[in-house]
Structure 1
């Protein structure tokens, strides 16, 4: 079974891409990349998983948007449950500029047989897609009191927060269930320049997304929280550490 994380660029910016595979009971990184065009992202997915082969794709973007204005139910619930961690998500509606891009991406995945999975039978092979959100996932997986603020602020502060995220990934994800196997030299250092830092940020976000996909498939609702449903839009969030 393969697990994809897509840190989708909501506009035209590059997207972080990660592919994990469960091998001998451990998750291994098959690819960690970054691409800009949607067509290139879809080609990458097609190259990693043949038609009808099992996989689950976790997308950090609103791929289901039923509302013409305002916020979706999962957006509101994210603020209710995770506002105290500063982890409420950006509101999505069909009137916003990014909506066509993100919804169409979900439809492209559906056309490839990846069905939305706001409910799932744990460890059942299939082709699934889910919406995820790294900030609350990081809070729960690493037992934090607030989000890691590596997306906004001064470059030096963002870099320190991204180093914290990297350290949590390296130190904690290999201890959880399912466990992530990391080769030595997974990422040597966090860069000092803005563009390079953003590239690493996108890749690490995609790795978190892929891990959430694996966690959802492995445990289902036992150790995951689902905000919303297929009708309203939904976000899958790990409930905490499972060792």
Structure 2
């Protein structure tokens, strides 16, 4: 099956990270990672990939019924992951409506995938014939999967270069360790061969988008293999976020 991760930009004018994994419950291999451009290019790429069982894991709000404030999903996730500094940005129609002429890009993509036979369903990802899309959040996933005490500070937000490079080194180390994880992920050699300490500007941002897309795709693989170790915050109707959760919150089966 294919597990596709999308670090979806809120504006179609900005690039989006994408990663494609191929595999099964025994593990998967990264077969592609890169950045995509506008809506037409994004759909063309997905149409070239989506055949057979697939999960598309998207870091962007797929359903935003509230005009202002935040969704219950963000509040519920913050109650669990806030102490790790892994709360999600508030999603509302006023904020997201500033982009794309008022069209919320995540909702647009959800509708396009539904037309292609995909269900917006975070609850049946273990099915062998699954064809689903889910909203995910890489920072919470990293906290749960990597056992972090707080989120990795690899974003360029006013910090010194030394701290940024240290965060990237740790991020790469955790990604490399996925080869020995359960389920294992291989094929990361090209992505991890890049040295973020030598990158800046748009090139560094593209590397960030690719890495986060890999985390989205791995979240889909993990949820397919271990649904009892994942948690859904919110609801399909009001918007939700699926993420691997803390070990003490696993469902014992």
Q: Same fold (TM over 0.5)?
A: yes
Question: Are 2:192 and 1:187 aligned?
Answer: yes
Q: 1:215 aligns with which of 208, 222, 230?
A: 222
Q: Secondary structure at the match of 1:95?
A: helix
Q: Where does the alignment leave 5 or more consecutive residues of structure 2 unmatched?
A: none
Render the CA deviation track for 1:206-234: whole Å, top value 9, x for unaligned. 000000011111222x1101101111111
Say how many residue pairs are matched: 238
From 195, 200, 210, the counterpart of 2:207: 200
| Residue 183 of structure 1: how far off its partner (Å) | 5.4
For the residue of structure 2 that corresponds to 1:31, the secondary structure is: strand
The verdict on how the C-alpha distance between 1:73 and 1:150 changes in structure 2, with shifts beyond 3 A counting, is same
Q: CA deviation at 1:108?
A: 1.1
- Residue number among 127, 130, 140 corresponding to 1:136 in the alignment: 140
Normalized against structure 1, the TM-score is what? 0.91
Q: Quick check: 1:123–1:218 contact (8 Å CA) kept in 2?
A: no
Bigger drift between 8-17 and 188-197 goes to: 188-197
Contact 1:149-1:158 at 8 Å conserved across structures? yes
Deviation at 1:167, TM superposition (A): 1.1
Provide, for residues 67-119 of structure 1, a one-character-per-residue CA deviation record: whole Å limited to 9, x for no partner.
Answer: 12211010111221111111111111112224622211211111111111121
Partner of 1:35: 36
Structure with the higher helix share, 1 or 2: 2
**Corresponding residue of 1:125:** 129
Gap change, CA 1:131 and 1:183, over 3 Å in 2: closer
SS state of the match for residue 20, structure 1?
Answer: strand
User: Equivalent residue of 2:226, what SS?
Assistant: helix
Q: What is the RMSD of the two structures over their aligned residues, measured on CA atoms?
A: 1.9
1:14 correspondence with 2:18: no
TM-score by length of 2: 0.88
Instruction: Out of 204-213 and 72-81, give the one that drifted further.
Output: 72-81
